[in-house]
């Protein structure tokens, strides 16, 4: 009998479920991929069922279910932040001061009857990084918006033990600071932070003083926000009029044109974030003088900052797992529960890949195209031919939807549910931004590169399998589609072991073109979660402007699509799901 531990993140945003079997991570997925509602916060019913089914288990096989937060501690913080009102009356507060909800949902909605463990939020973040890093010892830094009380923690991991020795408490939060600027710049909170990061290189750091005014960096690991500039304590709003006054310009209207001012503020914010993080990382090293650093929490998704931490900071190695946000807490919660049950570290080996979601089932693909076999090319049993055909299309400038194997965990597409294209094409970035992803033109795309070729093209001396840090493009090739205005790129290095088919495609593309790099962006339309099933991939393909679609062994060209499919679906949007709040962190 194996030891089966389920980890759960839910009720905030990005709920997710993961399954540790005898300490090995065998399945994990975010609920949004199943409900098709971006950042789905509800209890992950479908992801829970998926994880069990993937491992061939049923609900009676679970030894322990671990939840990623302490509901009571969260309630303490909720009560405190509303003071002097003991009974908070803001619209989003109704029915939210409910510390019983997690257990109620786990028992009633999931139907789980067994042992339940609650772990705290930042320990879950820390565990999600350290226990999957493969490091025997490491310093651990977690930075997010807020968990229960903590917003930033400093810790040390050694073998099985994980010790958090210092915390910064709410409302002092780097995540909230970054999100407030995100909201001020007219982007969605908890989603638009990437956009601020992407916008930053276009600007000059002319508002660094103003951003520094928002935060006072203290001794040790501490810092404080100057709360007169923020409104999130008692209102459903991130920033106060004082912040607007400080910057001297009204907040940017969402969807309005981007101005140099917005670019400058983004740059300034990014600079201050990096400076503060570097300062705190140095402090952490002074307390935990080892070579390895584990990062986690939503702020650890800031790959520009990550690169600078590694480059300029005192640590020699950095580990971040790609679901560094709250979805990843499900991993950490499961890992901590594993230790509570066994007194042993879940797994000694590092996380090599995150292809932990639902797999493409050949039988489903066959059923999908059974009535239109003439529309598709079936390469079953002929992988090299499939790769040749796909690479040839890419080389000719095609945008290819690529849905293969098991879906990735976390916000980045890593070659399982990806849109791929030739990074050398100067028009590619605008084309994909405008016609495929329907998103803002300023955002760069990321490259996936054969791991053993990475050094020739990027200033990168170590693997970056999860696309979580940026490096300078030093390639002899012109790579306009993936090179940012500051010549940086968010690199994914691909090796043959963790993703053989994607590695094979890159190899074949290199053979045909001499370029071992592909543009790699997530397989979805604007506002939609990344596709999960073959049908979702097909729908996204038809709705958008991609040229070809590969679903495992099947290749489909746009030219072969029946006119009726296009007439029905081209240009349509996925059915709208009730959006999750994007104007403020639902702190309650």
Partner 1 sequence: MPDRPDASLIPLVRRLAELLDSDAGTQVMALMQKLVLLSASGASRTVTGEAAPVDRAVAPSAIPAADAVVPSPSAQPQRVGIWTRGADHAPWTRNPALKNQWRFWADIDEIPAKGARRRVLLLGESVARGYLFDPWLTPALVLERMLNDALGDGSFEVVDLARTDLTFRELVPLLLETPALEPDAIVLFAGNNWENVNLSMREFQLLATALRAGGFPACQRAFIDQVLVPASRAVLDLLAATVQTLGIPAVVVVPEVNLREWRNDAAALAPTLTGGGNRVWLGLWARAQAEFANERYEHAAALLREMIELDGGTGSPPQALLGECLLHLGRRSEARAALEAARDAVCGIFIRHAPLCPSAVQTVQRDKAAQHGLAMVDLSRVFTDHLHGELPDRRLFLDYCHLTREGIHLAMAATAAQLAPRLGRAVTPVGRFLRVDMPMSPSCLAMSHFLAAIHNAHYGQDKAVLEHHCREALASSADIAEVMRDYLDFQIRRAPNWMCRSYERIKDLGAAELRAVDRYLSPEDAGTVDKFADFALVDCIERALRDAGVEVEPWLSEHIRREHVGDDVNLLATRYRAATFWERSGHSTALPRAYHQACTPVSTFFLIRDDSAAVTLRLTCRVRGSEPVPDHSIVRVNGVDVARVPAHATWGTHAIAVPRGCLRAGVNRIDIHWPIHTPPCPDDLERAASNLERCVFPDVLPVFGEIFMARSAP
Q: Which residues bind partner 1 (CB under 8 A)?
A: 36, 45-46, 48-49, 53, 58-61, 71-73, 75-76, 79-81, 83-84, 86-89, 91-95, 97-101, 108-111, 113, 171, 226-228, 233, 363-364, 367-372, 535-536, 539, 562, 564-565, 568-569, 572, 574-576
* Residue 565 binds: one of Fe ion, partner 1, none (C-beta under 5 to 8 A by kind): partner 1
Place of tokens 């970056």: 464
Least separation in angstroms between CB 297 and Fe ion: 5
Adjacent-strand bridge partners of 472: 488
- Smallest gap, in angstroms, from Cβ of residue 110 to partner 1? 5
Choose from Fe ion, partner 1, none: what does 226 bind? Cβ within 5-8 Å by kind.
partner 1
- 496 φ/ψ angles, rounded to the nearest 5 degrees: -70, -25
Residue 577 binding target from partner 1, Fe ion, none, CB below 5 to 8 Å by type: none
Two structure tokens written together for 275:
């400076």
Site membership for Fe ion, residue 326 (CB under 5 A): yes
User: Is residue 528 close enough to count as binding Fe ion by CB under 5 A?
Assistant: no
Class of residue 125 by CB neighbours under 10 A (exposed 0-12, middle 13-18, buried 19+) = buried
Distance in angstroms (rounded) separating the CA atoms of residues 101 and 569: 40
How many CB atoms neighbour CB 428 within 10 A?
21
Query: Which is closer to Fe ion, CB of 147 or CB of 447?
Result: 147
Residue nearest to Fe ion (CB): 144
The token pair at 121 is: 């939020």
Q: Strand runs (DSSP E) across 10-132, as ranges?
A: 16-21, 24-30, 64-67, 116-118
- Minimum gap (Å) between residue 264 Cβ and partner 1: 27
Nearest residue (CB) to partner 1, 227 versus 496: 227
Using the minimum distance from each CB to partner 1, give the nearer residue, 204 or 526. 526
* Dihedral sign computed on CA atoms, order 240, 246, 251, 252: negative
| 431 binding partner (options Fe ion, partner 1, none; Cβ < 5 to 8 Å by kind) | none
Nearer to partner 1 by C-beta: 478 or 573? 573
231 binds Fe ion, rule: CB under 5 A: no
Q: Of the two residues 226 and 285, which places its CB atom closer to partner 1 in the complex?
A: 226
Q: Which is nearer to Fe ion, 32 or 144 (CB)?
A: 144
Nearer to partner 1, 26 or 395 (CB): 26
Q: What are the beta bridge partners of residue 191?
A: none
- Report CA-CA distances (Å) from 66 to 91, 285, 462, 571, 572: 30, 31, 34, 42, 40
- Encoded one letter per residue, x for contact with Fe ion by CB under 5 A and - for no contact, window 135-164 reads ---------x--------------------
List the single partner that 326 binds among Fe ion, partner 1, none, CB under 5 to 8 Å by kind: Fe ion
Least spacing, CB of residue 96 vs partner 1, in Å: 9
Nearest distance from C-beta of residue 46 to Fe ion, angstroms: 22
CB of 68 to Fe ion, least distance (A): 8
* Beta carbon nearer to partner 1, 448 or 530: 530
Q: 522 CB contacts (<8 Å, ≥6 apart)?
A: 411, 412, 413, 417, 418, 419, 530
- Residue span 281-320 as binding mask against Fe ion, x where in contact by CB under 5 A, dash where not: ----------------------------------------
Decide: 17 and 8 in contact? Cβ < 8 Å: yes
The residue among 181, 197, 201 whose CA lies nearest residue 411 is 197
Q: How far is the CB of 180 from partner 1 (least distance, A)?
A: 14
- Work out how close the CB of 154 gets to partner 1 at its nearest, in angstroms, rounded to a whole number: 20
Query: In angstroms, what is the minimal distance from the CB of 539 to partner 1?
Result: 6
Minimum distance of partner 1 from residue 57's CB (angstroms): 9
Q: What backbone torsions phi and psi does residue 543 show, to the nearest 5 degrees?
A: -65, -30
CB of 172 to Fe ion, least distance (A): 15
- The kind and range of the H/E element at 153 are strand 150-158
Residue 265 parent element (H or E): helix 260-287
Binding residues for Fe ion, rule CB under 5 A, total: 2
Residues 331 and 195: their CA atoms lie apart, in Å, by: 27
Instruction: Report what 560 binds from Fe ion, partner 1, none; CB cut-off 5-8 Å by kind.
Output: none
Show Cβ contacts of residue 215 under 8 Å, excluding neighbours closer than 6 positions: 174, 177, 223, 224, 225, 226, 272, 276
Q: Which is nearer to partner 1, 330 or 488 (CB)?
A: 330
User: CB–CB of 549/109 below 8 Å?
Assistant: no
Three-state SS at 369: helix
Contacted by 144, from Fe ion, partner 1, none: CB < 5 to 8 Å by type: Fe ion
569 makes contact, choosing from Fe ion, partner 1, none, with CB < 5 to 8 Å by partner type, with: partner 1
**Nearer Cβ to Fe ion, position 326 or 536?**
326
CB 559 within 8 A of CB 569: no
542, HSE (Cβ side, Cα atoms, 13 Å): 19
Degrees to nearest 5, angle at CA 308 with 305 and 309:
85
**Least distance in angstroms from the C-beta of 368 to Fe ion:** 37
Residues lying near Fe ion in the complex (CB under 5 A): 144, 326
């Amino acid at each position: 009998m194996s030891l089966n531990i389920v980890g759960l993140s839910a009720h905030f945003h990005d709920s997710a479920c993961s399954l540790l079997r005898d300490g090995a991570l065998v399945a994990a997925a975010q609920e949004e991929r199943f409900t098709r509602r971006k950042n789905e916060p509800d209890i992950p019913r479908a992801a829970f069922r998926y994880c069990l089914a993937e491992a061939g288990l049923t609900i009676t096989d679970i030894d322990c279910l671990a939840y990623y937060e302490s509901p009571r501690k969260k309630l303490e913080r909720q009560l405190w932040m509303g003071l002097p009102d003991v009974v908070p009356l803001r619209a989003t507060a109704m029915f939210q001061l409910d510390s019983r909800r997690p257990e109620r949902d786990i028992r009633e909605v999931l139907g789980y009857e067994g042992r339940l463990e609650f772990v705290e939020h930042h320990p879950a973040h820390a565990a999600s990084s350290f226990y999957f890093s493969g490091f025997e010892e490491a310093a651990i830094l977690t930075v997010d918006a807020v968990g229960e009380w903590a917003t930033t923690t400093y810790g040390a991991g050694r073998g099985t033990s994980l010790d958090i020795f210092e915390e910064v408490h709410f409302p002092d939060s780097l995540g909230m600071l970054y999100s407030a600027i995100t909201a001020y710049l007219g982007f969605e909170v908890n989603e638009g932070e990437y956009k601020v990061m992407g916008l930053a290189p276009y600007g000059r750091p002319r508002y660094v003083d103003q951003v520094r005014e928002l935060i006072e960096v203290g001794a040790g690991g501490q810092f404080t926000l100057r709360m007169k500039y923020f409104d999130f304590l008692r209102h459903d709003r991130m920033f106060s009029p004082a912040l607007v006054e400080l910057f001297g310009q009204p907040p940017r209207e969402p969807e309005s044109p981007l101005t140099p001012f917005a670019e400058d503020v983004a740059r300034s914010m990014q600079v201050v974030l990096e400076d503060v993080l570097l300062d705190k990382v140095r402090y952490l090293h002074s307390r935990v003088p080892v070579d390895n650093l584990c990062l986690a929490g939503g702020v650890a998704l800031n790959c520009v900052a990550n690169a600078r931490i590694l480059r300029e900071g005192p640590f020699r190695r950095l580990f971040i797992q790609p679901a560094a946000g709250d979805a990843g807490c499900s991993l950490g919660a499961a890992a901590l529960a594993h230790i509570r049950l066994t007194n042993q570290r879940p797994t000694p080996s590092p996380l090599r890949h995150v292809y932990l979601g639902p797999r493409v089932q050949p039988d489903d693909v066959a059923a999908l195209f059974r009535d239109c076999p003439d529309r598709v090319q079936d390469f079953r049993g002929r992988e090299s031919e499939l790769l040749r055909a796909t690479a040839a299309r890419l080389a000719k400038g095609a945008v290819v939807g690529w849905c293969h194997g098991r879906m990735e965990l976390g916000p980045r597409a890593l070659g399982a549910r990806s849109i791929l294209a030739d990074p050398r094409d100067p028009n590619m970035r605008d084309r994909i931004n405008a016609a495929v992803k329907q998103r803002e033109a300023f955002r760069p795309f990321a490259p996936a590169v054969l791991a053993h070729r990475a050094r020739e093209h990027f200033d990168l001396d170590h693997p970056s399998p999860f696309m979580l840090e940026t490096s300078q493009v030093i390639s002899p090739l012109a790579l306009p589609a993936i090179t940012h205005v500051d010549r940086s790129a968010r690199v994914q290095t691909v090796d043959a072991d963790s993703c053989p088919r994607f590695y094979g495609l890159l190899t074949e593309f290199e053979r045909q073109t001499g370029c071992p790099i592909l543009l790699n962006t997530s397989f979805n339309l604007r506002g939609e979660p990344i596709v999960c099933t073959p049908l979702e991939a097909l729908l996204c393909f038809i709705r958008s402007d991609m040229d070809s679609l590969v679903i495992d062994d099947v290749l489909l060209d746009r030219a072969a699509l029946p006119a009726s499919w296009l007439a029905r679906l081209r240009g349509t949007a996925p059915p709208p799901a009730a959006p999750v709040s994007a104007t403020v962190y639902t702190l309650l």
